[in-house]
Structure 1
């Protein structure tokens, strides 16, 4: 490049729009130069033709011609810059970026620091670092990777380098600190404590990674649970739609049959009435005809004709005796009731199928229950396998050995020859009192049977107040299903697959135990009122 061109700076060859070396430079009337594409795009995107630099407005859009002189100069400058870049060494230093540590010695443009000196408390670029690598006095200085705020590595009290660590006070100290303030403390070199803390960080990192993996697995587990729940929801919706469609069809069919029955009765009555009316109309026609003949004969002056016709016309024509004949509207009493009863039978069969399916589902959560010898009424006896409670003259109260704090579980109780019984789930009784009021508020979710409850035999659920149950059959085997999270306790007659009763919306916060209380009918052991029942 000529000497004259060397006097030109890079800024003189830069387009003020793209900030790059000119490409096809053009000059506009005000004297400023731009890349042809840049100024064309600028004017295309604006309503007014204006110089981006001096803001001069041109009423008529200037015609643009490439300035060959500037174009040649820009080309030479670009070529020269490329040659200088290719000839520069691979070790060319970089200008410090905002996130990097700058050289403290550089003036003007700050280059990127390669090392920081803990003795000089300065950071150096490659050029200014050279004395620390070549001079013997500086070689002994401790160099580290570049860091900011080197003053923070100095003891604020003694203005000495923090190169030790006090394990007693858990702080960095200088040499003077160990002689004065930390004389009797456990002090080690920074590197030693660094290695220890680094090892701890490694363990912490491993623990964190393990925690992350566990949580990732938990996420997968939760997602899988959501997928299973969606499948269950879809299946239940499909089953529910099928059931309610069948119910709707049954109701519509029963309604149609009821309407047909009533209409058929009405049609029969109308047909009978039409027959009677037709007969009456025929008789009326005959009578009118005879009346006309009699009237005509009565006005006849022909003596012979009147006497000859009198015998046949004097007698009324033969007709039916309608005195006791009537049309009674059909009786509809019981028609709707019978239709509803038939629908109820159909629905009962459908409900039985539903409960059979539901019972099979809950039986998948069946558990073995073992009685706890430490929580049994003092007078009760139990079998050797701890899975039976013998009948006696008093009520026996016993909890299971197993406790449940989450999930779902199901167990069955064979009632055998128990005359009275109470069963369900309960919170653990730390002190088996003589009397306990059965109710959910006291930790009992049970169903009971009592021969002489309020003067009659019956089944009821002590729900506070008690709910009296109407069962079609006497249960011989009762299944109990608990969903802890849903707050549900359901009782089933296993033989008929019928739902006996359900406690819903319960809030379980403690351990739940299967609860049993078999009784004989030799004494009155359960007292019931409309509000609660007391278990002795």
Structure 2
């Protein structure tokens, strides 16, 4: 055993880590580890970026170098191994002889008994207990086992190669993605730097313009002060002369009539001039318009940036099984109109009745989502919003979206229009509110578990977070009575649902100005919700 131990130690040092056999044509790679040339070539062919099988360090194929001294050492160890195997049995150490000799007869093993599953020497083979058994030579008996070992070894090597290839491919993809992340970081810095530069330039432009206006106004003021001082001095002299003339005698006064003095000092029209010249006032008004345009543009920019980065714009389709019978849903499931005909003969347990409401087909239990609702309101003027927006101020912006002007044709894409000449009949039959026939619609979200039967209270306690839109403006239902928050109604409402944050935010989709925000933790699934009770009107989901 002592003589064999050094040779076995040397054998371990000259084995290929890949094929687990003696190194054949040994080569070294960048990290210094040694492999068979054939084995490392297979690794290079299997991956774009080959990795060392031992330390997982990337290396280049062109840096592979042959190690000729190690090749000669492997050959020497191989010869020593062969010489040891050819060594006569009696010359081997006792420990090795015991492994290959029959302890009973001290003969070398040559046979294998299949019945008893024992190795036999020649004398054991001819003994009475094994004479009639199925006995074969050791090499033949070991062949099936050797084949199984070799097959399993092949499978294990294949598994190892696949794992190595997978690790190499994964490492390559991870490195590529990390490189892309670095590129993204540079792109973000570049985009924001350009934006900052543009904003700084516009800031300097406006400040320079304002400084010019201030300078022109100051010069005009100085000119007016100078002219005023001159006029005061002139009028002071005239007043003094006239006062002196007034104190003279009648004879002197008649000899030098006062009208000569008045004609000598004619009255000028200095003080009827405007305090600010029309040119400066025109430039000031133009500058004020630019500031309003700047504020509006920045609100839209900030809002669009926040919406695009934080919220996911989703496509909503209406669930026809929840639609009230008087609501006609378009063929694409994006619009509803209110008709005077019951649109369905089928009864659905999910249907709103008698409330003219409908849910979206997709609910949410997490995330941040955004969609828009176009309001085609025929019952009040489309110019109301523009007129109101021209006179309002101080509205907060949340995030922005595209503005789609105009409305679709009322018969576009509907399965059944349900209109008739006397379209006011059903509106007259609808129950009045506070003695006045109400024409309005609701836009927002609702819990999946809301009551579908009977007249409802559209409050958060009942599972509704909605805006009430009418010709009077925008109202919110948080209690027994709605309270008004806008005196006009936007043409397009943006709805932003932050389920995890427990908020529903409504904005004017044209300007991204904040209309109202509900703050309430949600339980269960939440769906988009529309409600409409007005003839000649339509609500359309976008996108």
Q: Does TM, normalized by the shorter one, top 0.5? A: no
Length-normalised TM-score, structure 2: 0.42
Larger Rg: 1
Relative contact order, higher structure (CA 8 A, sep 6+) = 2
